[in-house]
Amino acid sequence: MQSPDIFQEAMSPQHLAIYLINIDRAADRLAEMRRQSAEFSIELNRVEGVDGQVHPSEDWIDVDVRLFLKRNGRHILPGEYGCYRSHLLALERFLAGGKDAAIVVEDDILLDDTFLARAVSAMEAAPDADVIKFVNHRWKGFRTFTTTAEGDILGRCIFGPQGSTAGYLVTLSGAAKIVSKLRIMSLPWDVAIERGWDNGTSLYSTRSNLVGFTRLRKKTMIGNRETYLSAKLPIWRRIPAHCFRTMDFFRRLHYVLVQSRMSRCNIIDASKGRRLVERFMIALTWHR
């Protein structure tokens, strides 16, 4: 019997599993994602998310509150805690499944009939990638790494954070690294997962978003501008956060300008090697 957390409409097997994060009180969002699943024949595996609004802070687990304050200059929002725990649950479920790669999405995105093909194409274009972000809010200082067969540009940004984890591809090894490194929360999830230089992961972003957002996105589950402002510490207590961000900028700079170049050279060398082997095999066949 099919699990109620997996919904599909007589569809063929997908190349990539898609894990949909959805909390119980967001029934309208789940209904919309079910509609999209049926319309585009995309199988979605629901992950019951952690609702930060119903978990008092004294019940939170695996959170370094002191380090979060130091790094961010503000208090953790309940929705941020729920988001963080939910994404970890999605990655743990993916790891338990044993597949080579998967996509994690949030429940306010807008899919289309090109999404899966573009996602697979992105994975093939960057074989060294542990994570490929399909949704971002910012692209300042974007440096192109490669272009996929579907025409999407992959790269990294000198300035960040780019924001959003509404949709991203992750490999098995990438998920293992992230779950191990980010088990304890000290940053918001979208900031933490983007720090490939600290997580030991190879992360790329698409130059434009592969998916849009539904109208339900306006009903935020984390917080609005006023919520974030009210969580801020006094100015003098935010100095450590500014120092952390400055150091992180230089680490990001090295990651984008130096490590990206090394990764690209490795892929080019591997591609040349494959072509040489192919030519040798063709010549050998011809000789026979």
pLDDT of residue 88: 99
Closest CA to 209 of 104, 98, 110: 110
Q: Kindly report the backbone phi and psi dihedral angles of residue 133, in degrees, each rounded to the nearest multiple of 5, phi listed first.
A: -85, 130
Report the distance separating Cα 193 and Cα 174, nearest Å.
10
pLDDT of residue 166: 97
Q: What share of the chain is helix, strand, coil (3-state, %, to 5)?
A: 50, 15, 35
pLDDT of residue 277: 42
pLDDT of residue 264: 63
pLDDT of residue 227: 79
- Domains of the chain by range and CATH? 6-287 (3.90.550)
Average pLDDT per 10 consecutive residues for the chain, totaling 288 residues:
52 76 96 96 97 93 98 96 98 94 97 96 96 98 96 97 97 98 98 98 98 84 74 93 98 91 58 48 48
pLDDT of residue 265: 60
DSSP secondary structure of 94-161: HHHHT-SEEEEEETTEE--TTHHHHHHHHHHH-TT-SEEE---S--TTEEEEEE-TTS-EEEEESS--
pLDDT of residue 229: 81
Would you call 244 exposed, middle or buried from its count of C-beta atoms within 10 A (0-12, 13-18, 19+)?
middle
